[in-house]
Amino acid sequence: MSKSERFLMLDKELQPYKKMMAEAADIILDQDVSNYPIFIAHQQEFDMGIVLTPQNEQSQWAIHASSLEEFVSKQIIFPEKVEEFKSNFKDASHSLCIFVLSELGAQFIFLPR
């Protein structure tokens, strides 16, 4: 499967969660929690962020809300890579930053809201 096909598949699978993630991103931004909201979409156990929706029989993905600051404190993003991450981060009012953990590995993707 090509990278673009994988991206389109993820976009389709995560579509039901976009509204919830957009609302959570607005809260994170409006309450000055972080300028860099990151959502974690995973299919296995992952203890990080605030659970927005757990994985269950009806839900293929569990979604957690987090931030750049938490990713740095948990050493998922190293301090020396923060500026590079910020320069690649897309405007949170138009895009959702999602850290996807699946059988394909871990990757950051940006989906339009």
**C-alpha to C-alpha distance for 73 and 23, rounded to whole angstroms:** 24
Q: Is the pTM of the predicted complex or chain greater than 0.85? A: yes
Domain ranges across the chain? 3-112
- Are 41 and 99 a contacting pair, CB within 8 Å? yes
More confident residue, 74 or 43: 74
Ranges 6-15, 39-48, 83-92: which has the least confidence: 6-15
Supply the pLDDT for residue 6: 76
Average pLDDT, the chain: 91
Confidence of residue 95 (pLDDT cuts 50, 70, 90): very high
